[in-house]
Structure 1
Amino acid sequence: MTVLREIANGVHVLRHPVLDVNATLVVGGEAALVVDTLSSARQAEDLLAAVRRVTGLPLVVVNTHHHFDHVFGNVMFAGAAIWAHEEAAALVGPALRERAVLAFPDLADELACTTPTPATELVRSAAEVELGDRTVQLRHFGRGHSIGDLVAIVPDADLLIAGDLVEQSGPPQFDDAYPLDWPDTVAGLLALLTADSQVVPGHGAVTDRRFVRAQHEQLADLAWLIREGDADGAPAERVAAKSAFPQEIALPAVRRGYLHLNQP
């Protein structure tokens, strides 16, 4: 049985075994917020059942970004307002499902039965979701893991839901990322965190400011290597080998960085 774990007053997290992705429930006095809806309708059905074991309140949904493992469960939340950054919402559709099937063939059957459902409420830079006796702030600090990263801040719980801007169970992923922008975006998150803050990453265990700061340093070092390598005309492979991240992770980041630096 899928179970949500309470990590703060009225804040519950499901760490799903498929892709180790997190979904978060924030319960207010009049409504409850679900942040990210997992990879498929089947997974989201279990998530929704777990949510309903905690609360019967009307639901609101937030997508932290457009990647399928965070949004394809949207279809199970019919009638709920779904919030996302405007760039993220525009990328949720059949083409995204096709790419997901190619990348994760083991999930092909689940994905075939899932209708990609984009957000209905669009955020450009900031918005607030009222849950009755608590307000959740939605903020876009810039590009990073994707073009449309959105974080959810629960001030009364000193908690931030970071999506894949922060990765705990593995290194950051750069396939369609913005490695030169990512450090500044995470710096915006750090400015909000206290020594006692909890941070829900996109994947892995709930973490804290110290972890986010360490990952920010790694991202900043990589961005510096990319800029230096581009200026020197160094091969991407040589630059990636200098990174703190594994070669197979850093190489796509360097190539993306080179691409962005040399765009007209």
Structure 2
Amino acid sequence: MSKAFASQGDLTEKTITFDEVGRDLWAFTAEGDPNSGVIIGDESVMVVEAQATPRLAEKVIERVRSVTDKPISHLVLTHYHAVRVLGASAYGADSIIMSETARAMVAERGQEDWDSEFARFPRLFEGHESIPGLTWPTTTFNDRMSVYLGKRRVDIMHLGRAHTAGDAVVYVPDENVMFTGDIVEDRSACYCGDGHFHDWPATLDRIRRFDLDAIAPGRGGALVGREAVERALVSTEDFVRSTYRPAARVALRGGTLKEAWDAVRAECDPKFSDYAIYEHCLPFNVARAYDEARDIDTPRIWTAERDKEMWEALQG
């Protein structure tokens, strides 16, 4: 293979930042690695996204303890991907929350996704031997639910399909701040291998209607201020549309997956090639866009074997 598979060649430790994005609201970010969020209530703390292993989760907990000694009572997982959920046991949370659809995806493809992502992201699975097994929620919801951390209300909502079918966002109305998971990225490629290209822009529009003061995205830096929020919403939508359109044009005229790959590269390389995990995501994104254009609505399950076959065919 001409390029190291997925992120196997990315072994450089990333610099962690911990930024306050609203009163007692924090974004844990690390140069394009998966982000986590922290919401401090009157008596306890909610964490958004667990990280890939309990050992990596301890880095989030260390930052939580730098700003509060309140117990972590709730953990929200915005979707089912292994790099987001498998560190959950470290938090000792009373409640682990996912959308009902996300839970179904754990049941359907959770183990395959774990095996797949373990091969793709070796650095993110530091301490993988401490993972006790698949992460299951204790609480699920369909459209929305509210959690009260004392007087602080937190709204957890499914606004539409995007990065996966079961994406959740976490909204804190008293500060007008949202934790979006991987629906929104900042200077990081969107991973679209389990995505829904047709739905994603409309889901971004529903986020836009909140007129947010800050967003903690799935990857990339904290977005504080409406200008930064809008920039990330626009660039995320541009990435999604720029990936889908050329692949769909090829698919709809009966062209090959490799032709779709070439067309997407021609469109996206000039704009996004310096984004985090761009080369990693590209084969999976093109494959999914090609499928969706041919009316395959449900993303096919990625396995470690299928990952490498796709990488050989397109990045090899």
Shorter-chain TM-score tier: 0.7 to 0.9
CA distance in 2, matches of 1:79, 1:263: 37
CA distance in 2, matches of 1:220, 1:100: 25
Which of 128, 137, 153 lines up with 1:111 in the alignment? 128
Which of 138, 141, 164 lines up with 1:146 in the alignment? 164
Q: Describe the SS at the equivalent of 1:46.
A: helix
Q: Describe the SS at the equivalent of 1:22.
A: strand
Q: Which residue of 2 aligns with 1:88?
A: 102
Identity of matched residues, %:
26
- CA-to-aligned-CA distance 1:197-241 (integer Å, 9 cap, x gap): 211111110121222123223323443444433333343124313
CA distance in 2, matches of 1:250, 1:53: 37
1:181 aligns with 2:205: no
Q: Look up the equivalent residue of 1:68 and give its one-letter code.
A: A
Q: Which residue of 2 aligns with 1:20?
A: 33
Give the TM-score normalised by the residue count of structure 1. 0.86
Q: Which residue of 1 aligns with 2:284?
A: 252
Q: Is the 8 A contact 2:56 2:126 kept in 1?
A: no
1:78 aligns with 2:92: yes
Q: Is the 8 A contact 1:88 1:148 kept in 2?
A: yes
Q: Look up the equivalent residue of 1:243 and give its one-letter code.
A: E
Q: Which residue of 1 aligns with 2:215?
A: 199
Give the deviation of 1:33 after TM superposition. 1.1
Give the deviation of 1:86 after TM superposition. 1.8
CA distance in 2, matches of 1:96, 1:214: 27
1:133 aligns with 2:151: yes
Q: Is the 8 A contact 1:199 1:209 kept in 2?
A: no
Q: Look up the equivalent residue of 1:257 and give its one-letter code.
A: A
Q: Which residue of 1 aligns with 2:45?
A: 32
* Alignment RMSD: 2.6
- For the structure 1 residues 263 and 20, does the alpha-carbon distance in structure 2 shift closer, same or farther, using more than 3 Å as the test? closer
Q: Describe the SS at the equivalent of 1:90.
A: helix
Q: Describe the SS at the equivalent of 1:33.
A: strand
Q: Which residue of 1 aligns with 2:116?
A: 99
CA distance in 2, matches of 1:33, 1:167: 21
Q: Describe the SS at the equivalent of 1:203.
A: coil
Higher relative contact order, chain-length normalized (CA < 8 Å, sep 6+): 2
1:166 aligns with 2:180: no
Q: Which residue of 1 aligns with 2:238?
A: 217
- For the structure 1 residues 136 and 240, does the alpha-carbon distance in structure 2 shift closer, same or farther, using more than 3 Å as the test? same
Q: Is the 8 A contact 1:236 1:251 kept in 2?
A: no
Which of 49, 70, 77 lines up with 1:57 in the alignment? 70
- CA-to-aligned-CA distance 1:171-200 (integer Å, 9 cap, x gap): 111222222322222122112124xx2111
CA distance in 2, matches of 1:170, 1:114: 27
Give the TM-score normalised by the residue count of structure 2. 0.73
Mean Cα displacement is larger for which, 93-102 or 167-176? 93-102
- For the structure 1 residues 101 and 251, does the alpha-carbon distance in structure 2 shift closer, same or farther, using more than 3 Å as the test? closer
- CA-to-aligned-CA distance 1:64-116 (integer Å, 9 cap, x gap): 11112211121112342011122222344544332222222345561222123
Give the deviation of 1:136 after TM superposition. 1.1
Q: Which residue of 1 aligns with 2:267?
A: 243
CA distance in 1, matches of 2:24, 2:99: 25
Q: Which residue of 1 aligns with 2:295?
A: 262
Q: Is the 8 A contact 2:189 2:239 kept in 1?
A: no
Q: Is the 8 A contact 2:177 2:214 kept in 1?
A: yes
CA distance in 2, matches of 1:24, 1:189: 17
- For the structure 1 residues 107 and 206, does the alpha-carbon distance in structure 2 shift closer, same or farther, using more than 3 Å as the test? closer
CA distance in 2, matches of 1:108, 1:43: 8
Q: Is the 8 A contact 2:53 2:125 kept in 1?
A: no
CA distance in 2, matches of 1:148, 1:155: 22
Q: Is the 8 A contact 1:198 1:209 kept in 2?
A: no
CA distance in 2, matches of 1:229, 1:187: 27
CA distance in 2, matches of 1:130, 1:69: 27
1:45 aligns with 2:69: no
Q: Describe the SS at the equivalent of 1:69.
A: helix
